[in-house]
């Protein structure tokens, strides 16, 4: 669904600072970016995850199944709570749809809504289905701060001209030893830090090490936090082609 579900995450590294004067990212940096982009994905994948949404007014928890195929197909279906059971999201290439079983209606998500909240959480539609990728949609350079820790890469990502995003810059911090993400900070076009995602609980799921927990805090909304936790994951075991179809989107469960 994270920068999800998988949904859900991404980062990168190296070269050229100024937005209008970016140079091509070096091959070794592309390898790092590509690995982080695909950390929660594979040729195909399945995951069961829990999303906990907390703000000063309420708390709620969603349990959902998420399937993906490469970087271009994602399917999410909510299992709990009962009132949201069957709500589903489908993304194929750059098109996205939501299905709401209570009204039995499919709604296509326009590009202008990709940065809007998904199911009332602090994650956006784009975070969950990853319409953009760091490898193809961002310039990257190493940008260690004055207090940088030697065990981390500090990577500044700036969107390419054609990239549809509200972020002016992303700072991604990755472990040098294995390119495991540690945290990301997101800045608006004026350079204001707007949100932070921490990656925690690294463990083996589906035969690979991944951070099982992603904790997002919007810095302009005190008291808000959304946590995604992977309960299980399977990679490269095959996903039926009909999974990523409008017919499956409207399937009753």
Residue 185: pLDDT band with limits 50, 70, 90? very high
The answer on pLDDT for 11 being more than 50 is: no
Beta strands in 145-246 (DSSP E): 152-159, 169-175, 181-187, 193-205, 208-218, 225-235
Q: Quick check: is 157 in a domain?
A: yes
Residue 30 has pLDDT above 60, yes or no: yes
> Mean pLDDT across the stretch 185-202?
96
10 lies in some domain: no
What distance in Å separates the CA atoms of residue 40 and residue 208, rounded to the nearest whole number? 9
CA distances from 114 to 67, 120, 130, 239 (A): 19, 14, 9, 25
86 token code pair: 């069957």
14 assigned to some structural domain: no
pLDDT confidence band for 26 (50 / 70 / 90): low
* Residue 57 lies inside a defined structural domain of this protein: yes
Q: What percent of the chain has pLDDT over 70?
A: 87
Q: What is the pLDDT of residues 147-172, one digit of tens each?
A: 999 999 888 999 999 887 889 999 98
Q: Could you tell me if 9 and 181 are in contact, meaning their C-beta atoms sit under 8 angstroms apart?
A: yes
Mean pLDDT of 42-70: 93
User: Largest Cα–Cα distance of the chain, in whole Å?
Assistant: 54
CATH number at residue 79: 2.50.20.10
Strand, helix or coil for residue 4: coil
Q: In this structure, is residue 1 part of a structural domain? A: no
Assess whether pLDDT exceeds 70 at residue 4: no
Rounded CA separation 68/246 (Å): 15
Winning range, highest mean pLDDT, from 30-34, 43-47, 50-54: 50-54
Highest mean pLDDT among 25-34, 40-49, 238-247: 238-247
Given the structure tokens 């981390």, which residue do they identify? 152
Q: Which residues, in sequence order, are CB contacts of 240 under 8 Å at separation 6+?
A: none
Tell me which of 27 and 146 has the higher pLDDT: 146
Q: Output b/e per residue, 67-77; b: 16+ Cβ within 10 A.
A: bbbebebbbbb
Give the pLDDT of residue 33: 72
Task: Give a yes or no: residue 119 inside a domain.
Answer: yes
Residue 234: give the domain boundaries: 27-248
What is the pLDDT, as a whole number, of residue 93? 86
Mean pLDDT of all residues in 51-65: 95
Report the distance separating Cα 49 and Cα 120, nearest Å: 17
**What's the whole-model pTM score?**
0.82
Beta carbons within 8 Å of 10's beta carbon, 6+ residues apart: 3, 36, 37, 39, 130, 133, 134, 172
Q: Quick one: DSSP state of residue 18?
A: S
Quote the mean pLDDT of the chain: 85
Q: 195 near 185, Cβ under 8 Å? A: yes
- H helices of 93-206, in order, are 125-129, 134-137
For β-strands 208-218 and 225-235, DSSP reports them as antiparallel
Judge whether 4 lies within some domain.
no
Q: What is the pLDDT of residues 66-75, one digit of tens each?
A: 999 987 899 9
- Alpha-carbon distance of 73 to 41, in angstroms, equals 10
**Residue range 82-93: mean pLDDT, rounded:** 94
Give 176 or 225, the one with higher predicted confidence.
225
Does residue 21 lie in a domain region?
Answer: no
For residues 32-50, give the mean pLDDT: 83
Helices (H) and strands (E) counted in the chain, each on its own, are 4, 13
- Which residues are CB-contacts of 249 (< 8 A; sequence separation ≥ 6)? 75, 88, 90, 97, 99, 106
Total structural domains in the chain? 1
């Amino acid at each position: 669904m994270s920068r999800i579900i998988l949904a859900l995450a991404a980062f990168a590294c190296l070269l050229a600072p100024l937005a209008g004067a970016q140079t091509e990212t070096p091959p070794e940096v592309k390898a790092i970016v590509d690995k982080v982009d695909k950390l929660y994905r594979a040729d195909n994948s399945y995951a069961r995850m829990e999303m906990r949404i907390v703000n000063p007014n309420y708390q709620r928890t969603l349990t959902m199944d998420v399937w993906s195929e490469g970087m271009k197909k994602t399917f999410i279906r909510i299992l709990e709570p009962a009132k949201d059971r069957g709500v589903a999201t489908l993304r194929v290439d750059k098109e996205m749809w939501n299905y709401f079983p209570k009204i039995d209606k499919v709604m296509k998500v326009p590009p202008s809504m990709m940065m809007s909240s998904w199911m009332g959480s602090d994650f956006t539609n784009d975070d969950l289905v990853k319409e953009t990728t760091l490898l193809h949609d961002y310039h990257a350079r190493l940008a260690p701060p004055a207090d940088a820790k030697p065990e981390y890469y500090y990577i500044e990502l700036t969107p390419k001209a054609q990239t549809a995003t509200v972020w002016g810059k992303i700072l991604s911090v990755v472990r040098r030893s294995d390119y495991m993400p540690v945290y990301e900070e997101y800045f608006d076009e004026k350079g204001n830090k707007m949100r932070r995602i921490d990656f925690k609980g690294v463990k083996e799921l589906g035969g690979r090490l991944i951070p099982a927990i992603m904790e997002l805090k919007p810095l302009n909304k005190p008291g808000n936090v959304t946590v995604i936790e992977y309960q299980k994951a399977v990679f490269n075991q095959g996903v039926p082609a009909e999974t990523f179809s409008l017919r499956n989107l409207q399937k009753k469960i």
